[in-house]
Amino acid sequence: MARLNKLMKFAEMRSFSNVFQNFDPREPKLIGANNREIDLKGNWNKLHFHNNNPIVLELACGRGEYSLGLAKLYPGKNFIGVDIKGARIWRGATNAKEENLHNVAFLRTRIEQVDLFFGPEEVSEIWITFPDPFLGKESRRLTTNKFLDKYKQFVSKGALLQLKTDSIDLYEYTREVLASRKDVQILVDNADIYKGEVNEQLAIKTYYERKHLAEGKKITYIQFVFI
């Protein structure tokens, strides 16, 4: 039943105008509503959002709570949630449609491929929200040098990159990676955000954040820029 439910969501999602999917990681092709192939690299604003607003990515977005939360706070920006899990994207895209949030879209791809779908300087901010820490497999962590080099290819000058995680190991690992790079400046480094006051952006809570808070975990946050 659960599987059937999932297949129905996947079928329905193919008609969504706010979801773009890559079905074959060997080919950088995106499929939008009604199976239409669309080349969005460098063209997200022109072909999808139809404005010139700054583009913000949420990597490992799951159900896209950050994209939706920020989209409500900042109607003058465009938000794209990126994840590989179809059922989670279906949830986020359905919520965005129901809430008439035209400044939110979703990109279903492996984040290993994300640089294939954005042009130079196309993105002005990145959030990485509670990514799997992959403690046993460093290469899959979304803050390795390899991933950072990919993000660097498509962010604009001064773009903020932000990691929010409950994983102390991933937080410490990321601090080390960032400290080892000459092209990065850390702007905020907070090992326990709820110890003090949080601003309206940091106050947004995702599905996983709520779970971690219920388990009594601390939430960490790092904000950095490429220089």
Ligand X SMILES: C[S@@+](CC[C@H](N)C(=O)[O-])C[C@H]1O[C@@H](n2cnc3c(N)ncnc32)[C@H](O)[C@@H]1O
Per-residue x/- track, 160-199, ligand X (CB under 6 A): ----------------------------------------
Span 14-73, contacts to ligand X by CB under 6 A: 60-62
Binding ligand X by CB under 6 A: which of 184, 207, 225, 226?
Answer: 207
Per CB under 6 A, 6 contacts ligand X: no
Binding footprint of ligand X, residue count (CB under 6 A): 18
Spell out, one character per residue from 78 to 117, where the chain touches ligand X: x when CB under 6 A holds, - when not: -----xxx--x---------------------xxx-----
Report the nearest approach of ligand X to the CB of residue 88 (Å).
5
Does 132 qualify as catalytic in the annotation?
yes
Is 69 or 131 the residue whose CB approaches ligand X more closely?
A: 131
Q: Distance (Å, rounded) from C-alpha 45 to C-alpha 55?
A: 8
Q: Of residues 24, 132, 149, 166, which has the active-site annotation?
A: 132
Sites of contact with ligand X (CB under 6 A): 60-62, 83-85, 88, 110-112, 129-132, 206-209
Query: Residues with catalytic annotation?
Result: 132
